[in-house]
Chains A and B, each alone.
Chain A
Amino acid sequence: MARPSRALHQSSGTNGRRKLALVASKGSLDMAYPPLILANAARMSGIDVEMFFTFWGLDIITKKKMNNLNVATVGNPNMHPWFGIPTLLGALPGMSAAASWMMRGEIKKLGFPPVPEFIQLVIDAGANVYGCKMSMDMMKLTEDDLVEGATVLGAMEFMDLTDGAQIVFV
């Protein structure tokens, strides 16, 4: 039995307030959700969040791409809970789109939002969102191409920000 207190709601690590740093480097539909869910769960537990989107992960925060992330059906032997799709079958036109459509449906059934709404939710919850400068230069993107609230950051600045944080690479 414990009386309610502020302390019971505060998630403190060994050095005071907990901080989580997430690096999202994959842009497929199935790999967009883990960093978003972790970021949201951290914010709901009072943990500060820094999210760094790099390489294909940039698609998650790029306005033109975020609505159309897909799941790979080629070379993906673990396509459950549906059926294992052999690579040659998965290479047929439309297979990736069909699998992605099914996955979006399953995610919606669980009450999770689509990626653009989810990234906005996470930003509104107070997570800091950054696009990797190097990846953006490589893909010819500017800050205007990113979702409202995202800023451009280099790797070294990200290292400064994540002092004391637990870093998760996806």
Chain B
Amino acid sequence: MTADILDRVSFDDDGFMVDASTWTEDIGQAIAEALEVNLTDRHWQVINFVRKDFEESGEPPTLRRITQQTDVSMKEMYQLFPDGPAKIAANIAGLKKPTGCI
């Protein structure tokens, strides 16, 4: 079922969605499963913020911006999305790979 959903989506060579506007929550869920991330409400809070910030600024937020604009701390980000929280959150949210170094 998950595999079917992702079949219809275009990804770049890094596994990030090419067209953020075609994202749906089901696609997000499927990507999270592929990344072995078990989504809870707290994860969705971050994913929703990341999408909203992208819509407002055109860029996926840096990790520091996520921790400044939400009540999710740096420590918690690494617990929710181990090994590259800003990258993984952007991946699940259907955005391109973030390029900031903070």
Contact = CB atoms under 8 A, between A and B. Distances in A.
Interface of A: 1-6, 8-11, 37, 40-41, 43-46, 111-113, 121, 124-126
Given A9-B83, A121-B64, A4 B78 contact: no
Nearest to A118: B102
16 contacts: A1-B13, A2-B15, A4-B6, A4-B15, A5-B15, A5-B34, A6-B36, A9-B35, A9-B87, A40-B102, A44-B101, A46-B82, A121-B64, A124-B78, A125-B78, A126-B78
A124 B73 contact: yes
A60 B6 CA distance: 46
B11 A111 contact: no
B47 interface: no
B13 A2 contact: yes
A117 to B, nearest CB: 9
A1 B35 contact: no
Contacts of A1: 10-13
B63 interface: yes
Nearest to B36: A6
Nearest to A112: B102
A12 B63 CA distance: 22
Contacts of B88: 9
Between A4, A111, A126, the greatest number of chain B beta carbons within 10 A of the residue's beta carbon is seen for A4
Interface string B11-42: 11111100000000000000100111000000
Contact of B34 (A3, A43, A111, A113): A3
B35 A6 contact: yes
Interface in B66-102: 73-75, 78, 82-88, 91, 100-102
Given A9-B91, A40-B101, A112-B102, A4 B34 contact: yes
Nearest to B81: A9
Nearest to B91: A4
Nearest to A17: B83
Nearest to A38: B101
A121 B102 CA distance: 10
A125 B80 CA distance: 12
Contacts of B102: 37, 40, 111-113
B83 A10 contact: yes
Between B15, B73, B83, the greatest number of chain A beta carbons within 10 A of the residue's beta carbon is seen for B83
A37 B78 contact: no
A113 B64 contact: yes
Between B36, B88, B91, B102, the greatest number of chain A beta carbons within 10 A of the residue's beta carbon is seen for B102
